[in-house]
């Protein structure tokens, strides 16, 4: 799916589910900033959880994966 299609899907999800929990699984991190909460899984376990702009996302596994995704 192209970036425009992904953006339309995420925008629609936010509009359709205000105040509800919506679980979105993604491997590409381009739209991760749109999430209210982000769990980081490593070998099947949640290692960290929080918002994009708050610690613990400034370092560690998430920061490494996000930086790699931006280098494409």
Over residues 11-48, the pLDDT tens digits come to 898 888 888 888 887 777 777 777 888 888 888 998 88
- Give me the mean pLDDT over the 61-70 stretch: 78
Q: Looking at the 3D structure of the chain, how many domains does it have?
A: 1
The pTM score is 0.59
Band (pLDDT 50/70/90 cuts) for residue 60 is confident
Q: Are 23 and 64 in contact (CB under 8 A)?
A: no
Which domain range does residue 52 map to? 3-70
- Of 42, 63, 44, which is closest to residue 52 (Cα–Cα)? 63
């Amino acid at each position: 799916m192209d970036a425009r299609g992904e953006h339309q899907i995420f925008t629609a999800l936010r509009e359709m589910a205000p105040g509800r929990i919506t679980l979105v699984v993604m491997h590409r991190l381009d739209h991760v900033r749109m999430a209210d909460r982000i769990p980081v899984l490593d070998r099947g376990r949640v290692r960290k959880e929080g918002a994009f702009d708050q610690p613990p996302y400034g370092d560690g596994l998430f920061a490494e994966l996000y930086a790699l995704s931006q280098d494409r």
